[in-house]
Amino acid sequence: MRILIPLAVLVALVVGLPQAASVFHAWFPAVSHPVYVRTSFVMLTAAHVMLVAVATTLAVVIGLALGVFATRPAGRSLLPTVRAVAVVGQTFPPVAVLAIAVPLLGFGAAPTLLALVLYGVLPVLGQTIAGLDNVPAASLDAADGMGFGRWRRLLDVELPQAAGPIVAGVRLSAIVSVGTATIGSAVGATTLGSPIVEGLVGNNMAYVVQGALLVGALALTVDGLLATLERRLKLPAA
Amino acid sequence: MIEFDHVSKVFGGSKVIDDLSLRIGEGELFVLVGPSGSGKSTLLRTINRLVPVDAGAVRIAGEDVVTRDIEALRRGIGYAIQSVGLFPHRTVAQNIATVPRLLGWNAEETRVRVEELLGLLRLDEPGMADRYPHTLSGGQQQRVGVARALAARPAIVLMDEPFGALDPLTRESLQHSLKTIQRDSGTTIVFVTHDMDEAFRLGDRVALLLDGKVAQVGTPLAFLHAPASPRVREFVGGERGRLRELAVRLVRDVVRLGETSSGHAVDIDASLQDALAAMLAQGHDALPVCEDGRVVGAVRLGDLVARPS
């Protein structure tokens, strides 16, 4: 249900909004173009999802790799630093990261992607470290004593027990990305933020409402999807 | 079978194991007993190289453990610990099958062995195999832990205070299971405990460790009759050591074959402690003794009190 309802709403919006010119005309009589038509909502949604998917995938790969490294004997000495960066980094607003990325990469999708990845890494990293750190010492002692190799122990014993918290981090990362990608349109990326930004600039509240509705429905869909995955991966004991 | 040859281990400047030499025979249930900090757990963990030694050598069947591939070495040695360390994301059957899986046993072979162990450790109530560890009682969890240690039929099993966190009744029941399984399988078991009663109840031989050295090694009776030093005598319980002796010796040692007595019979393989308890319960100073359900003799209170010759 957590997936189906928001997904149905999202599809209904993508299909229905272009047909709803009369509704928006009645709602916002002052605007001359009541429905955003520069790019189709299907295209905008697809571009938005694509950007978030690529950013989240990269964030997960990087966050997971760093988290695993920081909890291995070789990386243990870096653990406090990595943990501090992960915690402090999340207090920066994503917009600030975007603002720093533009001078480096120019306008368009590239700075948005960089901002999304940088910001998205932090929750994954934090939760990976927390999850791996919380695997009971007895589990590790037993695994070592029974002759698991390092990799085997990581894959068979540690990651499964840390999977719940890690997916919680992925979920947070993806949700933040869905929202932050919207701001990407301010620096020239094509996303569901495009109607919002254009609406704000051109004083067209109908565009803003359309963009906001779509982003909201997409965020709830992604959240529902990952929340379900998180529940599946939770330890039987929890 | 297992030989410690002048083994030393230093942790943070203090010698946890101090030039210790000891031999454990094949098929023995050997107990390392001692107070906290005596080095008994550390010594146990040198056998499967969870603790590397600083000096000396640990040999299994004459072969120094450091020359063995570490994973192969550990997969060949069963390992059970007080905190059990069952994998919470795996079922009882999957937990027990851990080492067989690491060793690449086929599914059928593994399934048969898991079934067998569930029976041996009295975990055979329906549905047990598919339950998750958090649904089990502490005693059941430790039964699964022991089953997991025995799963791949290792020649050696290491147990680090496995029953330390259990209530007395559950502990006794598990001690009994372990003793029976060990006798039937001929597995060499090295068992660490701080509980003298447990050491004497389980051990074929016992080594008392004090400050990283062996204070005495021998059978439980040797400890009781000939403590090597005043400190050992203190650990054995001084005068009260005679009470411990009742738990160690069997009715078989003092039975008067052919005599009879009134009352409910005690088994010939029961401990003298059990016999005394039965006498107290029944208010008799002698009881019949049975073997395989047949009365074969009697045991008298005086025989329990008399010093063995």
- Chain B residue whose CA is closest to A157: B87
For chain A, domain boundaries:
38-203
CATH 3.10.580.10 assigned to domain B249-305? The reply is yes
- Chain B residue whose CA is closest to A159: B89
For chain B, domain boundaries:
2-240, 249-305
Provide the token pair at B276. 């005394």
Residue A237: per-residue pLDDT = 63
> CA distances (Å), A142 to each of A138, A150, B56, B174, B220, in order?
6, 13, 26, 20, 30
Q: Which residues of B touch A146 (CB under 8 A)?
A: 74-75, 79, 98-99, 102, 148
Instruction: Write the residue in B74, B87, B148 that is nearest to A147 by C-beta.
Output: B74
A and B: number of Cβ contacts within 8 A? 71
B197 to chain A nearest CA, in Å? 26
Chain B interface test: which of A135, A140, A146, A158 (most B C-beta within 10 Å): A146
Whether the Cβ atoms of residue A18 and residue A37 lie closer than 8 Å to each other: yes
Residue B309: per-residue pLDDT = 60
| 3-state secondary structure labels for all residues of B240-269 | HHHHHHHHHCEHHHHCEECCCCCCCCEECC
Whether the Cβ atoms of residue B78 and residue B188 lie closer than 8 Å to each other: no
Per-residue pLDDT of chain A (238 residues; tens, 9 = 90+): 788 899 999 999 988 888 888 888 889 888 888 888 888 999 999 999 999 999 999 999 999 999 999 999 888 888 888 888 888 877 878 778 788 888 888 888 888 998 899 889 999 999 999 999 999 999 999 999 999 999 999 999 999 999 999 999 999 999 999 998 998 898 888 999 999 999 999 899 999 999 999 999 999 999 999 999 998 888 776 5
Per the CB < 8 Å rule, is B134 touching A237?
A: yes
Q: How far apart are CA A159 and CA A153, in angstroms?
A: 9
- Residues of chain A numbered 123-162 and touching chain B (CB < 8 Å): 136-149, 152, 157, 160-161
Residue A92: per-residue pLDDT = 78
Q: How far apart are CA B46 and CA B51, in angstroms?
A: 5
Residue A93: per-residue pLDDT = 80
- Chain B residue whose CA is closest to A238: B134
Q: pLDDT tens-digit profile of A138-156?
A: 999 999 999 999 999 999 9
Residue B190 pairs in a beta bridge with B30, B158
Domain made up of A38-203: CATH architecture: Orthogonal Bundle (1.10)
On whether any CB of chain A is under 8 Å from the CB of B71, the answer is: yes
Residue A21: per-residue pLDDT = 87
B155 to chain A nearest CA, in Å? 14
For the CA atoms of chain B, what is the radius of gyration? 21
Chain A interface test: which of B81, B87, B95 (most A C-beta within 10 Å): B87
Closest CA to B47 of B179, B156, B202, B178: B156
Q: Which residues of B touch A160 (CB under 8 A)?
A: 87, 89
Amino acid (one-letter) located at B249: R
Per the CB < 8 Å rule, is A138 touching B88?
A: no
Half-sphere exposure of B292 (CA within 13 A, CB side): 0
Residue B10: per-residue pLDDT = 94
* % of chain B surpassing 90 pLDDT: 68
Q: pLDDT tens-digit profile of B82-108?
A: 999 999 999 999 999 999 999 999 999
Sheet with B266-267: list strands edge to edge.
Answer: B256-257, B294-300, B286-291, B266-267
Q: pLDDT tens-digit profile of A28-74?
A: 888 888 888 888 999 999 999 999 999 999 999 999 999 999 999 88
Per the CB < 8 Å rule, is B87 touching A147?
A: no
Per the CB < 8 Å rule, is B79 touching A143?
A: no
For chain B, list residues with pLDDT below 70: 308-309
Residue with tokens 């006794």: B172
CATH code: domain B2-240 is 3.40.50.300
- Chain A residue whose CA is closest to B91: A236
Q: How far apart are CA A147 and CA B152, in angstroms?
A: 12
